[in-house]
Structure 1
Amino acid sequence: MQLARYKKLSLAVMLSMGSGAPAMADVTYEGEAGTLSVGGDVELNINAYNEHEGGSSLFRTQSGERLGRDDRFNQDGRILIDINGDRQTSRHYARFKLQPLWNTSGDTGVDDAWFAVGSHTGSELKVGRFEAFDLFPLGQDVFVQYSGSTSNSLYSDGQSYVYQAREGRGRGDSGQIALSHRFGDTMYTEVATLFGDRSDLFDGDTYHGYDIEDDSKSAAIVRPVIAWTPESWTFAVGMEANLVNDSVIDERGEDIGDRTGYGARVSYGHEGLDFNLNFAHMEAHEESNSTVGVNTVWNNVGVGYIYAENDIDDVKPGASMKDITPAGVNKSSTLYSSYRFANVLGINQFDTYVGAYYSEVDHDNGATETDRYGARVRLKYLF
């Protein structure tokens, strides 16, 4: 009987998606076995921005070479299907989420894919692919080009790293486990873990000019967080650390996977006003990184500012300045803004966002100050 009901639900969903039915937040089916819902969104971007020629170092001008620029105009985005299941008993529950997505580039992938079990007293165990607690929220982040994904391809030689306490937050390629507990309505604790090959954290083949070895072993990143949410406020602190020695090594045999970071945030949200103040700091091999961010969203207008410092102790002697960030302190300042046009053309849950950013980077070791900037129009439709 239950199988027949779920088959009827699948047919109804396919018909509604293919017949031009009015937009819906989701389609939900409730049966004796639990609840199953299907929804999703379309997110398409039209971009105009500049980047440095060939992805080369921001700091090439230190060696006397003129820094080239490439102007980029492109379109990207994806369609995401959000599938959720929920089953309840008098004391416990089981839930799952699956979010397959199709990119306009032709690639396919998945955002979240997890299973969770918990109790109504507040404890939960989650296994799969997901994002843990956000220690550095960016607000209405429409376009800030350097930010990368949650955990992969974040650090790149030749760039100014903006650490945001997200190296162990999740959505890695090898899965993760998180244990959390809620104490009433105001206190939340979480210990998230991230396993597997973490060499993909480095967007490239080098770190400080040294080649990264291919024979990396599995890392084990632990990320505890505690958050207090009295009424409209949120106060949270956390850290992330790799517990495995030599998980990623360079050509010298140095343990460049030894990275420990800390994060803290203060947030406020009430009656259309959202505000975040964030801080993050990381100690890595021959490098430390500190970042402060502040942002707010009010009446569909978003504004944010991020300041970051990278202090690099040493780089490979004789390494090409075209490819690396020189030793010393480099500083970046990024200002970004956005505006949301809600329910465009009178279509419910079809929004258009306009966003832009400007980022300026300077180095205390003689490199000429440089900048990056861009703008984006985002079409967002929830169904």
Structure 2
Amino acid sequence: MNNNSNFQIAFIGSVAAMFSLPASADFTYENGHNRLTFGGDVELDINAQNTHSGRGPIFFEDEIDDGDEFNQTGRILLDVSGERSTDSGNYARFKVQPLVQTDGGMGVDDAWLAIGNRGGTQLKVGRFEAYDLFPLGQDVFVGFSGDTSDGLYRDGQGYVYQAKEGRGRGGDSGQVMVSHSTGDWHAEVSTLFGDRTDLFDSSTYHGYTVNPDDDAKSSFIVRPVVAWTPGSWTLAAGMETNLVDDAIVDERGADISDRTGYGTRLSWDSGDWSLNANLSWLDAYEEDNLTLGLNALWKGFGVGYIHAGNEIDDVKPGSNDDDVISLPGKYSIDTLYTSYHFADVLDIKDLGIYLGAYYSTIEHDEVDNLDDADRYGARLRFKYLL
């Protein structure tokens, strides 16, 4: 019987054995140059927050629609990863992470194949997240005033850019990344290509209809990053830009997919302390976005602050107030968040309970009172690493 047959039999046996193990145990099978690992985690959240429905623009007090919301969210993640290597140091790795969500939905986090060598060069294809240029620390619950997001742009709301529009896991888009690590240095060039109209989570951009003729092209976003980690310090910088002209246009014919962003981070991690300082800037069509972030973690206690300053140059003029989606000018979003981690609850290894909360405000230089747009929330998270 050849080695492939032996591995196939062992694979079947390992799957059967996995279901007979205690829930808290990772299972790894190794046979020479082959390794197969099963794991995962359970993450369940009980949330209380004040939200904005997103049905109206946030810059007009009479349009702000909010409400207190109590719900439960979460998922069970299963992790299956494998590797086959050679004596010369070459390898092929894969990972798949299916999700079972508490609302009955199904999804997937990572699903990729990587090919590399002991010299530190790797090619990765599939669905994954590239290097994080704006880490939030222990981000148990981080929300923003105006229903903002680091990955979606909603017209008439605030936007907190975090150099993550091309990081990955972008809808139906494909991903390819080439990276190289040697000593204290890491460099990568990640790409995200395909339909990216889902970046705009509304039918308008500055009041102008997005993709009115339904003829969007496939985007091609390239995202190079360089990171240097001497000891406890990490300094990283990168950018992301779409190389396809007129991939997404509005009713004027303006290329609103022409978005170029930059990000940098300085991190320090030593003993009980972890610190991150982040800066990102986005040059979009008739809009600039600048975001600053600072967070710290000490012995399970985390705190963070994010400031986003945006400037919109032009919006579609309306014949009456109902036509106005957004306002030109400058606005800023300030968010404070905190968290605490209770580790190994009841002396059960890898069973944790997290407390998280945030408070966020938004201001516009031409709007006197946006207090109704303040957003806040608290979360109780149960996390169990399988």
Q: TM-score range by the shorter chain?
A: over 0.9
Greater mean deviation of Cα atoms: 284-293 or 361-370? 361-370
Please give the TM-score of this superposition, normalised by the length of structure 2: 0.93
Is it true that 1:67 corresponds to 2:70 in the alignment?
no
Deviation at residue 294 of structure 1 after TM alignment: 0.1
Question: Relative to structure 1, is the Cα distance of residues 120 and 326 closer, same or farther in structure 2, using a 3 angstrom cutoff?
Answer: same
Which residue of structure 2 lines up, in the alignment, with residue 190 of structure 1? 188
Find the aligned partners of 1:135 and 1:316 in 2 and give their Cα distance: 33
How many corresponding residue pairs?
A: 372
Which residue of structure 1 lines up, in the alignment, with residue 77 of structure 2? 80
Moved over 3 A (4+): 146-151, 319-323
Find the aligned partners of 1:142 and 1:326 in 2 and give their Cα distance: 32
Deviation at residue 382 of structure 1 after TM alignment: 0.4
Equivalent residue letter for 2:345: V
Which residue of structure 1 lines up, in the alignment, with residue 15 of structure 2? 10
Q: Contact between 2:206 and 2:326, CA under 8 Å: does it hold in 1?
A: yes
Deviation at residue 297 of structure 1 after TM alignment: 0.5
Deviation at residue 298 of structure 1 after TM alignment: 0.4
Q: Contact between 2:150 and 2:159, CA under 8 Å: does it hold in 1?
A: no
Q: Contact between 1:59 and 1:367, CA under 8 Å: does it hold in 2?
A: no
Is it true that 1:327 corresponds to 2:328 in the alignment?
yes
Which residue of structure 2 lines up, in the alignment, with residue 232 of structure 1? 232
Is it true that 1:345 corresponds to 2:346 in the alignment?
yes
Question: Relative to structure 1, is the Cα distance of residues 321 and 237 closer, same or farther in structure 2, using a 3 angstrom cutoff?
Answer: farther
Show the 5 A alignment for 1:150-229. 151=151, 154-172=152-170, 173-184=172-183, 186-213=184-211, 214-229=214-229
Equivalent residue letter for 1:331: S
Deviation at residue 157 of structure 1 after TM alignment: 1.0
Question: Relative to structure 1, is the Cα distance of residues 122 and 321 closer, same or farther in structure 2, using a 3 angstrom cutoff?
Answer: farther
Greater mean deviation of Cα atoms: 318-327 or 192-201? 318-327
Find the aligned partners of 1:316 and 1:22 in 2 and give their Cα distance: 56
Q: Which runs of 5+ in 1 are unaligned?
A: none
RMSD over equivalenced CA pairs, Å? 1.6
Deviation at residue 15 of structure 1 after TM alignment: 2.5
Find the aligned partners of 1:30 and 1:274 in 2 and give their Cα distance: 34
Find the aligned partners of 2:149 and 2:369 in 1 and give their Cα distance: 28
Which residue of structure 2 lines up, in the alignment, with residue 282 of structure 1? 282
Equivalent residue letter for 2:128: F
Q: Which runs of 5+ in 2 are unaligned?
A: 1-5
Cα displacement string for residues 263-287 of structure 1 (whole angstroms, at most 9, x for unaligned residues): 0000000112110000000000010
Cα displacement string for residues 148-169 of structure 1 (whole angstroms, at most 9, x for unaligned residues): 7774xx1111211000000000
Deviation at residue 29 of structure 1 after TM alignment: 0.4
Find the aligned partners of 1:321 and 1:341 in 2 and give their Cα distance: 49
Q: Contact between 1:336 and 1:358, CA under 8 Å: does it hold in 2?
A: yes
Deviation at residue 346 of structure 1 after TM alignment: 1.8
Cα displacement string for residues 165-218 of structure 1 (whole angstroms, at most 9, x for unaligned residues): 00000011221000001122x011000000011110111111111111132110
Percentage identity across paired residues of the two chains: 55
Equivalent residue letter for 2:334: S
Equivalent residue letter for 2:129: E
Cα displacement string for residues 210-238 of structure 1 (whole angstroms, at most 9, x for unaligned residues): 11113211000000000000000000010
Show the 5 A alignment for 1:1-383. 1-16=6-21, 21=22, 23-24=24-25, 26-53=26-53, 55-61=55-61, 65=62, 67-89=64-86, 90-146=88-144, 151=151, 154-172=152-170, 173-184=172-183, 186-213=184-211, 214-318=214-318, 324-370=325-371, 371-383=374-386
